Structure 1
Amino acid sequence: MNVSRRLRLPLGPPALALLIACAGCSSTDDGGTAAVPSPGAGVTELCRNLDERLPREVDGLDRRDPKPSSPLTAGWGDPAIILRCGVPRPAKMNDPEADGVTVNGVGWLLEKRTDGSFRFTTTLRKAYVEVTIPEQRTGDGVSPLTDFAVPVKKSIPEGIA
């Protein structure tokens, strides 16, 4: 896995218009839904610690947690950037050709999904943290990940989950 590769995702005019329109979204909008992971007790504790350190804003978007409410999930904006902590190890991590990036000292596996969104999963940490960036928010590349670097480094020790 190449974890030093930098990625800049393109932002076309339709996505830019949607991003501008969403900038004025009400803070009463909910963060949608997200499947809650079910890790063991040790990983759950690490994820609870992460939840306490997560920022109120990510990439300028207010926190709006998804339903059902859980310390293992968090969201920002609408459409939401979704974080899930304690997810299973992605099968793609077995692929030596898998793409990855390092953002402020945290390694992430990169997966482009069929719906145009991107899923990033931490690498070499005691718990897997997954961040999904919807297609409408991919114009800023990996910049949302910069807001997660410090909380992940302080909450999820380096190692193999």
Structure 2
Amino acid sequence: MTPTPARHALLSAAALAAALLLAACSGGSVRVAAPATTGAAGKQCAALKAALPATLDGKKRRGTSPAAATAAAWGDPAIVLRCGVPQPDVLDPHSPAYDPHMDSHDAEEVNGVCWTSEPVDGGGFRYTTLQQQAYVEVTVPGAYAHLQSPIGGLAGPIQRTDPVDRSRPFSCD
């Protein structure tokens, strides 16, 4: 039996829907609000993205949407890295959260990179570098709260591509 044009269109639409569903279930692209960067920060973020690992704590790298040189993701739910984010509020003198000596905020050095952390909805954490020339933010969903933080696995690429800005007022020491 030869399918009619209408039946053929219906079968094609069903096949496309199945393919999209399969892509979504198998960890398709992650929607990320990627920062727009220019100049040195843009170059550092592009170099960082190229240096990032294919897996992070056993989670495979995923594409981001829109595709950008300033964002990367791993796993499902996604651990999301954004490079070139604004200065963290704890370092912004105009922010109520300003705390340049980190008296009221958490900061830790992990494998040579200094990070601040803050809780996010769902029991996860957002980590932001404090000393790099281009600020790097990593959001870890609550689903991974019981695991070791993945930021240690990002330290090498960050150090190689985004040097410490010695003029920053804060130190993790």
Using structure 1 for the length normalisation, give the TM-score.
0.78
What is the match of residue 16 of structure 1? none
- Is 1:116 matched up with 2:123? yes
- Is 1:131 matched up with 2:131? no
The aligned amino acid for 2:58 is: G
- Would the alpha carbon gap of residues 27 and 158 (structure 1) be closer, same or farther in structure 2, given more than 3 Å must change? farther
- Is 1:64 matched up with 2:79? no
- Is 1:48 matched up with 2:46? yes
The aligned amino acid for 1:137 is: Y
Identity of aligned residues (%): 36
Shift of 1:90: 1.4
> 1: CA distance between counterparts of 2:81 and 2:25?
18
What is the match of residue 151 of structure 1? 157
SS at the partner of 1:121? Answer: strand
Gaps of 5+ in 1: 1-25
Shift of 1:79: 0.3
What is the match of residue 98 of structure 1? 105
Root mean square deviation, CA, Å: 1.8
> 2: CA distance between counterparts of 1:37 and 1:135?
23
Q: How many residues align?
A: 135
Cα deviation code 1:112-157 (max 9, x no counterpart): 1233220000111101000000000121132x11110100000001
Which stretch shifts more, 129-138 or 90-99? 90-99
140, 144, 149: which one aligns with 2:147:
140
Gaps of 5+ in 2: 1-23, 92-97, 169-173
Cα deviation code 1:34-76 (max 9, x no counterpart): 1010123210100001011000000000000221111110000
- Larger Rg over CA atoms: 2
What is the match of residue 76 of structure 1? 74
> 2: CA distance between counterparts of 1:120 and 1:141?
13
Q: Which runs of 4+ in 1 moved over 4 A?
A: none
Which stretch shifts more, 28-37 or 132-141? 28-37
Shift of 1:102: 1.1
Are the equivalent residues in 1 in contact too, given 2:88–2:130 (CA < 8 A)? no
Are the equivalent residues in 2 in contact too, given 1:31–1:80 (CA < 8 A)? no
Using structure 2 for the length normalisation, give the TM-score.
0.73
